[in-house]
Each structure stands twice: as C-alpha cells, then as structure tokens.
Structure 1
C-alpha cells in the first residue's frame, strides 16, 4: 500500500521545525525514564492518583443543545515528578460538554487532543456536539500540556522545543486522565470511555493501559509507537536533526548513561541491534566488510517514495579478487583456513539470524551500518569526515528510535483490562503513522479490532469524523453488552 499524496503535500506546506532545542536536559530524560518504569505497570501506579483527587468547575455555559462546564485541577505529575512540567502546564484545564437531556444512561467519552489541537473548539465542533445530537453522549475535552492555555510562552505554536517534552506530555496525560475518570465516577457518570485522533489517540491508548477497569478505547489514526512517526514518517522531515546530532555528539551522557536505561526489547526494538553489537563482537567486526544496499538502509529514493520507510532488502558479502579456484574465501575475500571453516559458517548463520531478527525495523540496521562506517572512518585513509558525519546521523536516528520506544511504545505498558473493548481506526495510506516494520496492535492487544479507512491521515481527519464517532458508539455498545451489570 502506498502513501497519501495529500499527506506529503500538507507536510511540505508547513515550515515549522520540531525539537529546535534538542533532546532536552539529560536529567529530565533520566527522571522521565525512571517514572516510565512505574507508570508502565498498572499495579505499581494504581495508587498514584487518589480517587478523591480535587477537581474544580469554574464556569457553566448554557447552550441551545448542551451545557459546557469549564474546569481545572493541578496535574498530579507536578507532585510526583516536581519541576518536570513547565509552569504554564501545571494547571490542567478541561471542558465537560453534557446534553441538556440524557437518554438511557449517562455515558461520557474523554477526548485527548491531537497534534496542533489547541484549546477546545475543534474537538467541540467536530466531535462533542455531533455526539450529543446523534446519541446523547457527553464529552470531556482535556487540554494537553504544552498546548492552548498550557503552552509555554517561548514555544512557537505546536512545535515542542525538546524531545523530552513529548514524554512529559504523555506522562502528564496518563495521570490527568485518571483524575478525570475518578471524578466522573464520583459524579455518577457511566459508562466511561476514551478516544483521540492522531497523537490524541496514542495518548488515550497510554492512559487506558493504566485504568484498572474495563473501558472502551477508540484510538483514531494512531498506532503502536511514536518512534516511526519521527524517524520514517513525513514528520521526520520537520525534526531539527542538526541540533539533535550536535548534542548527541557533544554530550556523552546520551550514549553512556541514557541508552542503558532503555528497556523495551520487542521484535521491533532498537535494543536488539544494541544487544547484537554487545554480545557478538566477532560477528560485528565483519559488518565493516559487508555491503549494505540502498534498499536495506532505506536510502533508495524510489523506495522512500513508495513506502516512506526503511525496509530490509539484501545483505551481500564482498568478494575479493585473485586466489586459487578451490580455496574457501571469507567475508573480506581472504582465504579461510580449513580448521576455521565451520566456525565461519556458524558465525555467518548467527549474523544472518540476528539481521533477520532486527530487519523488521530499519533503524536497527541503520545503527549497525553507522557503527561500521564509524569503524571504517577511523582507519587510515578511511575518509573520516564524511564517514563520521554519516555515522552521527544514523546513531542520532537510532537514539531517537530508542527513546521514543521507551516512552511511547504500547508494548512498554500494561495490556488494558479488556482489549475486546478497543476499536482502532486506521488510514490505509497514512504517511504520518507508518506501520511498516512496527508490531501490530492486534499482536500486543489480542482481541482488539482494527478498522481501515481508504486514504491518508489528512483526508481521514477532514472527511471521516463520522466514522470515528461510529466506532465510539460501537465500542460503548460492546461495553454495555458485556458489563451491563456493573
């Protein structure tokens, strides 16, 4: 399946850059990674947010078809990880939009904001008010940290300044969603569910992994991890890679300390490549003599246009010139002593196995290739300038994948209590959310449903809101069929 031309065109029209200040403070990354180990386990964090956490309603507005409650509370993240949030983001703000007349139950769906969705008007207009008209379902719209009233004064529009800001946003939204779910339960609303579009869908998914009860979840235009979004999706073009590379090269703490904190090691994790380098140094040395094709590294122009990602193609060993016709030759073309032939074959098989294991995600191979370039560049006559530059680019890319997987990969969090209540809506030609080389949500959440729409990310957002709402209604109906006695 190709990618949407509209997605590509829309991204080209936007000139803003992401992560203009780099990775963020190493101390902040360390703190948020340590907190991820807690928040990724539902049992460890179920008491982080008290059931009676204070929530305040500031104003109620009367509309023709609904009432709009404007409220606020202090983000629990400020108490648990003090100082990690910017001052403007400490106070969480929300709108609670309820029908003037309820129908059979008092259902409420929490909507988390997607990229660029500041304040509340977009979700209120496109989702909340139509949902009241169609089914009488209430909506609670939570404002993201770094957005709207919670946006730092020196931040330009939606452009997060640091990579770490995205992780702080996610941690805050997980806890803040728990605050609102507890509050809605106290107020007698039922059933409760969560949804979001694009980044909002992913944040809703993370929040539901922490909720200790069955709950409908409807993530739209999101998938398993944000790593592919910023490394192979069209948003990767908006990342300020020069600054990230400069900081990665300058501060050894990223490579020497932070990488060691990364835990996720699924079949699409960059840690598999790390472990290969660590535990198979003999085989790794031979990578410098391997020829990586353009398709393998995702550098082929046609491959990028067709698939928007890095796909494995083939690994060919170089053959050396000369030598006797009957002699065996190794990776570098040199003769292999008969006593080492079996060992060479075994190591080749091990290498093939490891490359196969990590080939589901291009950046793993990028990392291996980067290391081989670095080694080649350090040799006399190795062309150090260009080689070191290419190595730095690839290592920064791999580090991005690693930290993104650590804090955003769904497999790094608990499985929701009842995955059968999850309906995922995806666009077949989405260039923003690449699925190639990424574990599927059906594998991580057995029993969930995935619905595919024709078209790409932008067209689905503009024209398929009705299908998003229908998925919400279907998930809530499924909940009522299974848990009507709760």
Structure 2
C-alpha cells in the first residue's frame, strides 16, 4: 500500500504550475525592462511616506465620486460598476501609464437593508487577477449575511493594463511599487467613501497573495478599526520575489544589465540584494498595528510554494492579537479550494468590530 503525503503533493503542484507559468517562454518574465530608472528613485521616496511614524497618515484622503451604472439587479441584490479618476496626487498620476489613471470598481450589495446595519469589504487583486469575477464569486454568498462586496481593479491590470505589458508581468520594478502605492491610496479612499457617503456600519479590506499585502497596509493605516483580512499573503513582496516561486519568473539578468549602466558591473547576488532592499519598502511589519488587531485574520496555506511559513508568522508576531488560520494545501490549491474558509474569516473579522454609532 502506498501512502501519499498530501502536503508534498500540494507543494509540488505549486512548483509544477510555477514552472509552466514562469519558466517557459510562453510569456516574458517580471521586470524584463529593468528597475525603472528615475521613476524607481521617486517611488522609493514616496512609499516611505506611507510610514506614519515618519510622515503622518495624510487623512482624510481625497473623496472619490464614482460614476455608476447598473449591471444587473434581482429582488434582493444589485451589482453596479463605477469609474472614477484615481485620487492620487499629480506626481503619482504622472508616473502612471495613461491606461491606469481611471479606476474601476464593482459593487455588489443586498437591497432593502439599511447601510448602517450592513457591512462592506473592499477586495483587492492578487497577482494576475485582471477581472472582477473571482472576487465577486468570493463575496456573492456573503450577501445573505448582509455583507456587501466592493472589488477594485488594480492599476496595470484589466482595463488599466498598459498596452505594452503582457498579462500580469510588470515591465519594471518601479511598476510594482507604483501599483501598490496607487492601490493603497484608492482603497483608502473607497473605505472613506463607504463610511461617509455610503453610511456602512462596518467595513473591511481583504485580498489574496499580493492583494493581501496591500490589504494589510490599508488596514494598518486606517484611522478607525476595520476588519483586515490577508489571504495566502507574505509579510513583504521581497519574500515572494526573492524566496518563493516567483523568483523563477523574474528577469534577473535584465535587472543586472540595467543596474550595471549606473554603477560597476553587478553580480546576480548583488542584484538580488538590491531587490530585497527595494522591496523592503513593502514590509508590512514596519507598519503600525491596526486599531483593532483582533479583527485581523490571516488565512495561510500549510504547504505554500510561493509564501514560506515564516513570513506569515512574522506578521502575526508584529501585530499581537492577530490570528492565523491554516488551511491544508498549497498556494494554487488553496486559491481554488478554500473560498469557504476565506468567507468565514471575513464574517468573523467583521463580527469582531462594533457597529458604528448613528445619530437618531
């Protein structure tokens, strides 16, 4: 009788999928056009402004005013899509490709429920999540819990993807920082809209993989308690690109050649060290503990080839009171099989928040 170790199978599945997506010539690797030159230097400076202990939180954000259209509605629910100009400052807008300067959201909400007795969660995109569909499927069953879903299309993805970019493979390292910085600004503005214009009684933010890193940052920076729900997420993008499977999909040689233009010839190890240094700006453990850490629930996979276990535990340690829930599987299989666990974390995180007081 042969005993199969399911953990190894899940881990192998991640590597098989990663080999097909990242090691073949079916698509270009990440960062095939290098670091991003002066744009990278500018973004490194701007991202440091996210650290409140140094520069303050810049709250409240610019209020977004989406232009809505109804996609469909039933007797109990309605799906709308909205478009708005990104609320970032002009320096960030100028750095964005023209295709990314208008943001898109999908908004799925129950009907005939007072907003102050309803919750809404902003869902942020993981790597390669170009459409609204997967996140709407995740949020749809939560309608019966009076939980609405707002899905943000990230810059560089979907209809916001630059014309020269193939799929999710960002052309420059600066694009990754810009994607994150703009996503955080837009998500913070959407939460502010939900709380001030929408009147929702509770709010939260979630995301899978890269989206989970961004969700953790948004939850950290929010001035009032929100449910913060990172799924299958590292504590830093440096882990994903320098330790996990994505390191095999990174154009290290192109980065070495680009870096050697500005200094003496770099070794590949020096290139990887520079990448770790640049992406340390995305280290969520450097961000403040959210206002209600008990409403932080991380859902992580036991055999994740993309996200090492130690990375998850580093964030939990940095945010005392947060909870980690482990699901059996790898990154790919958990993405496909554990939506119920993600939904339960959303419900439980929101249940750990008080309803906002409303005036009579």
Question: What does the per-residue CA deviation read over 1:97-122, in whole Å, with 9 as the maximum and x for residues that have no partner?
Answer: 11124388211011001111112112
Whether contact under 8 Å (1:113, 1:144) holds in the other structure is yes
Cross-structure match for 2:296 = 422
2:150 aligns with one of 129, 136, 140: 140
**Do residues 395 (structure 1) and 275 (structure 2) align?**
no
Change (3 A) 1:405 1:435: farther
* Alpha-carbon shift at residue 45 of structure 1 (Å): 2.7
Cross-structure match for 2:314 = 440
- 1:152 and 1:226 map into 2 onto residues whose CA distance is 22
Cross-structure match for 1:96 = 107
Whether contact under 8 Å (2:40, 2:173) holds in the other structure is no
2:325 aligns with one of 441, 448, 451: 451
Cross-structure match for 2:231 = 220
SS at match of 1:440: helix
**Greater gyration radius:** 1
169-178 or 411-420, which deviates more:
411-420
Alignment of structure 1 residues 355-366 onto 2, 5 Å:
none
Question: What does the per-residue CA deviation read over 1:79-114, in whole Å, with 9 as the maximum and x for residues that have no partner?
Answer: 253411111111111011111243882110110011
**Do residues 23 (structure 1) and 35 (structure 2) align?**
yes
**Do residues 57 (structure 1) and 67 (structure 2) align?**
yes
- 1:155 and 1:413 map into 2 onto residues whose CA distance is 31
Cross-structure match for 2:252 = 241
Whether contact under 8 Å (1:8, 1:234) holds in the other structure is yes
Cross-structure match for 2:119 = 107
**Which structure is higher in strand share?**
2
Structure 1 stretches lacking a partner, 5+ long: 256-387
- 1:90 and 1:221 map into 2 onto residues whose CA distance is 28
- 2:93 and 2:99 map into 1 onto residues whose CA distance is 14
Change (3 A) 1:48 1:63: closer
- 2:111 and 2:93 map into 1 onto residues whose CA distance is 40
* Alpha-carbon shift at residue 66 of structure 1 (Å): 1.8
Change (3 A) 1:398 1:110: same
* Alpha-carbon shift at residue 246 of structure 1 (Å): 0.9
Cross-structure match for 1:74 = 85
* Alpha-carbon shift at residue 75 of structure 1 (Å): 1.4
Query: How many equivalent pairs are there?
Result: 342
Whether contact under 8 Å (1:98, 1:132) holds in the other structure is yes
Alignment of structure 1 residues 167-316 onto 2, 5 Å:
167-186=177-196, 187-252=198-263
**Do residues 12 (structure 1) and 44 (structure 2) align?**
no
- 1:11 and 1:72 map into 2 onto residues whose CA distance is 34
Q: Cα RMSD between the aligned structures?
A: 2.1
Structure 2 stretches lacking a partner, 5+ long: 1-6
Q: TM-score, normalised by structure 1?
A: 0.67
Change (3 A) 1:74 1:427: same
Change (3 A) 1:464 1:437: closer
Runs of 4 or more, structure 1, over 3 Å off, are 435-439, 483-486
- 1:21 and 1:62 map into 2 onto residues whose CA distance is 41
